Structure 1
Amino acid sequence: MFLTVGEMDKHVQLIADENQIVIHPTLKRLSRSYSVRVSEEIYIAPIKSVLSYAVALHELGHVLGPHQNSLRVLVRERAAWRWAKRNALVWSPRMQEHAETSIHWYEKNYRDIDKRQRSYLAIDDNSG
């Protein structure tokens, strides 16, 4: 199955609209994409390829998918990529490779990320 950039963009927008998620397609780099679950927003690069489509779905997965309250970043990342793959209209080898590369990066760096997150939570707990 082949999708045009317009069809991929419409699909992401449809999911966002159905779930009242605001999309900010203002970033220049895919690697800078992120989600804000509390306000139900995602910040992504404009959809111009299967890779930007995959990343947009991944960020939606952080808002809509399971396990996003986990204290472990690897759990959240893997779950968001699984959600993206399950909800994509097409999932190409390039998309799979991008997801695996992203997960591999988190496998190498999760300890530092989790440690930093725990320190933020400790600050929040003590601010009360």
Structure 2
Amino acid sequence: MTQESDDVNEAIRGELSLLDPAVRSSRDHYQRLFDPEFVEVGSSGRRYTYDEMVAWLPDHAGSSTDGPTYEPSAITGVVLAPGLVHLTFETNFEGRRSRRSSIWRKRDEESGWRMYYHQGTPVPPDTP
């Protein structure tokens, strides 16, 4: 494996962790996966910051270990620059599909890979 593929795989592991209800419901687990400068543009168009996401995530859909979960598929990634990986993928949540894009950043070995940016776009029901 190359360093680039290792970096992409680390970002994918982080992304999959953030979709895991056990991680989403535990502030200690998910907080370390978000970059302090994190920003998300939600499907509603609303912008979320690190502090808003850290406060909001445990109560958001997909965060209960006994409820519905996000089903990811077709995850691919590319290294944009050293320490910067862009992932794209789809999720299905209770029959609702979304196309997603995340940027993961690694500033240093101690903090590791963290989600810097995320955007999810709903896919209309009849779209292949």
TM-score norm. by structure 1 comes to: 0.26
Q: Which has the larger radius of gyration?
A: 1
Normalised TM-score (structure 2): 0.26
More helix by share: 1
Higher relative contact order (CA 8 A, sep 6+): 2
- Which one has the bigger strand percentage? 2
